[in-house]
Chains A and B, each alone.
Chain A
Amino acid sequence: MNSPLSTEIGSQLIMLFAALMLVMQLLLVVQRMLLTNVRLFALQSLMLTAIAAVVAYYYNATHVYIVAVLTLVGKVIFLPWLLNRLVRRINIVQEIEPLFNAPTSMLICGGLTLLGYLVARPFTTLHKLGNNTLAIAITLLLTGFFLMINRRKAISQVLALLTIENGVMLAAVALTTYGMPLVVELGIFFDVMVAVMVLGILVYRIRESFASMDTSKLDQLKG
Chain B
Amino acid sequence: MLLTPILVIPLAAALACLLVPWRRLMEWINILAFAATLALGVQLLHEVLAHTVVTEWREFFYADALSAWMVLLISAVSLGTSLYAGRYFRRDLAAGVVTAGRIKEFFVLTPLFATGMLLVVLANNLGVMWFALEATALSSVLLVALYNRKTSLEAAWKYIMLGGLGLALALFGTVITYAAAVGQGGGGRLPSFNWSHLMTVAAQFDPGLMKLAFVFVLVGYGTKAGLAPMHTWLPDAHSEAPSPTSAMLSGVSLKVAIYALISFNILTAQCPGTGYSRNLLLGFGLFSMFLAAPFILVQSNLKRMLAYSSLEHVGLICAAVGLNTPITIFGALLHMGYHALTKPVLFFAAGNIHQTFHTLKFRVIGPGVVKVLPVTVLFMGLAAVAAMGLPPFGLFYSELTVLSGGFAAGRTFISILVLMALIAAFCGILKQLTRILPGARKVERPNDATAWDGVPAMGLLVGGLLVFSVWFPDPLLQLIHQAAGIIKGKS
Contacts and interface: CB of A to CB of B under 8 A. Distances in A.
**Chain B binding site: helix, strand, loop or mixed by DSSP?**
helix
B260 interface: no
A172 B175 CA distance: 6
Given A161-B165, A180-B178, A206-B153, A123 B135 contact: no
- Taking each of B138, B151, B153, B158, which has the highest tally of chain A beta carbons within 10 Å of its own beta carbon? B153
Interface stretch (B187-195, B386-394, B399-407): B187-195
Given A184-B125, A187-B127, A168 B172 contact: yes
B363 to A, nearest CB: 14
Contacts of A99: none
B172 A141 contact: yes
A171 B170 CA distance: 13
B157 A221 contact: no
Interface string A185-223: 001100100110011011001100110000100111101
Interface string B140-172: 011001001111011111101100110011011
A223 B239 CA distance: 12
B182 interface: yes
A104 to B, nearest CB: 22
B360 to A, nearest CB: 12
A177 interface: yes
B135 A198 contact: no
A128 B175 contact: no
A143 B195 CA distance: 32
Nearest to B216: A141
A180 B128 CA distance: 11
Interface in B197-249: 208-209, 212, 235-236, 239-240
A201 B161 contact: no
A171 B236 contact: no
A176 B178 contact: yes
Given A181-B125, A210-B150, A221-B155, A168 B171 contact: yes
B275 interface: no
Nearest to A141: B172
B193 A218 contact: no
A220 B239 CA distance: 12
Q: How large is the interface on B (under 10, 10 to 19, 20 to 34, 35 or more residues)?
A: 35 or more
A129 B24 CA distance: 58
Given A195-B134, A202-B153, A221-B151, A177 B187 contact: yes
A148 B141 CA distance: 19
Nearest to B155: A221
A176 B179 contact: yes
A195 B179 CA distance: 26
A209 B150 contact: yes
B158 to A, nearest CB: 7
A207 to B, nearest CB: 10
B128 A184 contact: yes
Nearest to A178: B189
A120 to B, nearest CB: 9
Nearest to A218: B154
A157 interface: yes
A198 B127 contact: no
Interface string B352-372: 000000000000000000000
Nearest to B137: A195
A221 B154 contact: yes
A181 B134 CA distance: 18
A180 B169 CA distance: 16
Contact of B145 (A141, A195, A205): A205
Interface in A144-169: 145, 148, 154, 157, 161, 164-165, 167-168
Nearest to B133: A191
Interface string B429-473: 000000000000000000000000000000000000000000000
A171 B216 CA distance: 13
B138 A195 contact: yes
Contacts of B482: none
Contacts of A119: 212
Contacts of B155: 221
A128 B182 CA distance: 11
A206 B208 contact: no
- Taking each of A157, A202, A220, which has the highest tally of chain B beta carbons within 10 Å of its own beta carbon? A202
B134 A220 contact: no
Interface string B255-291: 0000000000000000000000000000000000000
Contacts of B161: 148, 157, 161
A128 B187 contact: yes
Interface in B293-345: 295, 298-299, 304
B182 A176 contact: yes
Given A187-B128, A191-B134, A195-B134, A202 B151 contact: no
Contacts of B31: none
A194 B138 contact: yes
A154 B157 contact: yes
B183 interface: yes
B131 interface: yes
A180 to B, nearest CB: 6
Given A176-B182, A191-B131, 19 more contacts: A141-B168, A148-B161, A165-B171, A168-B171, A171-B175, A171-B176, A171-B179, A176-B179, A184-B127, A187-B128, A201-B142, A205-B145, A206-B153, A209-B149, A209-B150, A209-B153, A210-B150, A218-B153, A221-B240
A-B pairs with lowest CB-CB distance, top 10: A184-B127, A187-B131, A218-B154, A221-B236, A191-B134, A172-B175, A164-B168, A168-B172, A175-B179, A171-B175
15 contacts: A119-B212, A164-B168, A168-B171, A168-B172, A168-B175, A181-B190, A181-B192, A188-B130, A194-B135, A202-B156, A202-B157, A210-B150, A218-B153, A221-B236, A221-B239
Interface of B: 125, 127-128, 130-131, 134-135, 138, 141-142, 145, 148-151, 153-158, 160-161, 164-165, 168-169, 171-172, 175-176, 178-179, 182-183, 187-190, 192-193, 208-209, 212, 235-236, 239-240, 295, 298-299, 304
